[in-house]
Amino acid sequence: MAEGLKKCDLCGLGAHDHNRDKILHEQPILCPCERKTSDKTERRELTDAEIHLATRYPDGSVRLRNPNIELMDQDILYHLALGSGSHDLVEMFGDVKFVCMGGTPKRMEQFAYYIMEQIGHKLPAGTTLQDISKYSYRYSMYKVGPVLSISHGMGIPSVGILLHEVIKLMYHAKVKDPIFFRIGTCGGIGLEGGTVVISEEAVDGLLRPYLELPVLGKLVQRTAKLDKRLARDLKSMAEPSQLFETVTGKTMCTYDFYEGQGRLDGAFCEFTEQEKLEYMEQVHKAGVANIEMESLSFAALTHHAGIKSAVVCVALLDRLKGDQVLAPHEVLEEWQERPQKLVARYIKNYLAMKGRLSLDGHSGSVPVLSPRRYKLVQQESETYD
């Protein structure tokens, strides 16, 4: 970075213009997240309009709130086994509109085949879907026309790592105004197993609507905000004739599956069943409909990136009635398809309105810019811990 280059540590602005790779300011300037008073500069949360300015170029393509990336020779997305200098990311991903994430590789492979059928995407004869990130041995990624289907693993750290790299992927591929979905499972609160929950807001175990993380020894808070209109549109697409409910509510996101979610069946439990039930009733009265372990990071990072996003999960049990998932395997399999079908319905309707159904495309073959760098990226992803 150029000597004396100043940027805002909150929004990343002040160092570069809307034009890529062009540094305009070598002196400190006032960022949109600051306002000058008589004798001091105060911090405030950016408005949606200011976030859009900070995260989009004039053509609508994704802009990063990190000027350092523009100055790098290449950017290796090592948890995805991709690189901006080794792969033609614009050719591979430039047409992406939807990024769908879920916990396991198997589930997201199944979703890839399901969405391919729903939108009429045709693969070249003799080909099949390929796991684009198979050399990472961490996440799986499948591309079906304008839809990416990616596994995010379990918990806030795993989904956070993935989001950093997928958001950077959107930037390198010059994707315009993508929409992100998390499709998953959860524990319901006062909801029967099989109920689909569309998150209105993500909160932590203390019911705070933000992600808190230490950065350079200081606690940073990122608002965990989901797109309200997208949630309403998804809710409107739930079929009334279905034999299960589709509801909206707050989602509590925890850092732990056992004690953090008030379970009585972990290796440690230092509270009573009555205390657990009182806590569950308390969060239920606060509007929490379900509990899982990814939505807080997902909502906070997508909002910080100016990306429209939604979380759709199916409840595998009612946590007011128990802690362990006891439904038969075939029942769970059917339940887990319910969020996928709702999100697929939204995607199909969107593409139909845009006249983009029945798309032909590649099966995940990799356009290589530099064979040497391509091999190095694979090796980097294989060995990095």
Per DSSP bridges, beta strands 179-188 and 308-318 are parallel
Buried b (16+ CB within 10 A) or exposed e, 42-69: eeeebeeebbebbbbeeeebbbbbebee
Dmax (CA) for the chain in angstroms is: 69
* Gap between the Cα atoms of 316 and 257, Å rounded: 14
74 is in an annotated binding site: no
Checking phi first, is residue 214 left (phi over 0); if not, alpha (psi -120 to 50) or beta?
Answer: beta
DSSP H or E segment with residue 315: strand 308-318
**Token pair 């999100």 in the structure block, residue:** 343
Size (the chain), residues: 385
261 is in an annotated binding site: yes
DSSP H or E segment with residue 274: helix 273-285
Whether the CB-CB separation of 246 and 342 falls below 8 Å is answered with yes
Cα 217 off chain centre by:
26
Q: Hey, what are 247's tokens?
A: 């509801």
Q: Where are the alpha helices (DSSP H) in 81-200?
A: 89-93, 105-119, 156-172
DSSP secondary structure of 44-68: -PPPHHHHHHHHB-TTSBB--S-TT
Q: Hey, what are 5's tokens?
A: 């280059």
Q: Where are the alpha helices (DSSP H) in 81-155?
A: 89-93, 105-119
379 is in an annotated binding site: no
DSSP H or E segment with residue 100: strand 98-102
274 is in an annotated binding site: no
63 is in an annotated binding site: no
* Gap between the Cα atoms of 228 and 213, Å rounded: 25
263 is in an annotated binding site: yes
127 is in an annotated binding site: no
* Gap between the Cα atoms of 70 and 362, Å rounded: 29
**Distance in angstroms between the alpha carbons of the first and the last residue of the chain:** 27
- Residues flagged as binding site for phosphate: 138, 182-185
- Residues flagged as binding site: 138, 182-185, 261, 263
- Residues flagged as binding site for substrate: 261, 263
